[in-house]
Amino acid sequence: MKALILNCSPVKNGATAEICNIAVSVLKEKYTVDTACIDDYSFSYCKGCRVCHNTAKCVQRDDVEYLMRKLAENDILVLVSPSYWGDVPGQFKAFIDRCTPWCNTHEPYAELPRGKKGYCITLRTGSGIAESERVASSIEHFYGHLNIEAAGKLCLTNIEYRMNVEAKRSEIIRFCGQI
Please write the tens of the pLDDT for every residue from 33-85. 999 999 999 999 999 999 999 999 999 999 999 999 999 999 999 999 999 99
Region 124-151 average pLDDT: 97
| Residue-level pLDDT at 41 | 95
Angle of the 63-73 helix axis to the 90-98 helix axis, nearest 10? 80
Q: Is 36 helix (H, G, I), strand (E, B) or coil?
A: strand
CB distance 95 to 28 below 8 Å:
no
pTM: 0.96
Distances from the Cα of 52 to the Cα of 5, 49, 98, angstroms: 27, 8, 10
For domain 2-177, the CATH class is: alpha beta
The answer to whether the beta carbons of residues 126 and 84 sit under 8 Å apart is no
Which class for 58: exposed (0-12), middle (13-18), buried (19 or more C-beta within 10 A)? buried
Average pLDDT over residues 94-106: 96
Instruction: Work out the percent of the chain whose per-residue pLDDT is above 90.
Output: 100
pLDDT at 102: 96
